[in-house]
Amino acid sequence: MLPGGRYSLALLPLLLFVWVGLASAQALVVPKPGPRDLCPVCGMLVSKYPNWVATVHYRDGHAHHFDGAKDMFKYLADLPKYAPNHRRQDIVTIAVTDYYNLQKIDAKQAFYVIGADVFGPMGHEFIPLATRTDAEDFLREHKGKKILRFDEVKPDLPARVDDGKF
């Protein structure tokens, strides 16, 4: 501290750097969908729904984009059908868009609310959230039915979510 109890202005950039680093620690950098990228599951133009984008990014730089986490889960459950030239072991990042802050987050660390009164581009959706607290708040505020983690999503669940039978 300087005389008079003031902090040195020289520390301000360092404090700002640390704060920004902590605030964005969960955000991922993945390729963005181009204007003509189609969801490999449903065929929709993904860039029309930036608040819902999910991305599977491969070691070779290739990325598949989805108009929501639900189609991403369908894709991952049947990779040979949707991406016959890609292998699961070549996936380096799976990202979803956090509902509240619209940042890309690690899909494997996200919390997903199903059965809510919020719909995605393809109807009923897995709503991705970065924290359990956010997921619990969202569940309560939007009449959700359940909170799931990535590894709790079984292959048949996305189709059941489509039908509203979860």
- For the CA atoms of 89, 68, 109, 164, the dihedral, rounded to the nearest 10 degrees, stands at -110
Q: Identity (one letter) of the amino acid at 15?
A: L
Residue 154, token pair as written in the block: 């079984």
For tokens 């902590």, the residue is 22
Tokens of 55: 């991305």
For residues 98 and 105, the answer to whether their CB atoms sit within 8 Å is yes
pTM, whole model, 2 decimals?
0.83
CA distance 106 to 55: 10
Each residue's pLDDT tens digit in the chain (166 positions)? 445 545 444 443 443 444 444 444 457 889 999 999 999 999 999 999 999 999 999 999 999 999 999 999 999 999 999 999 999 999 999 999 999 999 999 999 999 999 999 999 999 999 999 999 999 999 999 999 999 999 999 999 999 999 988 7
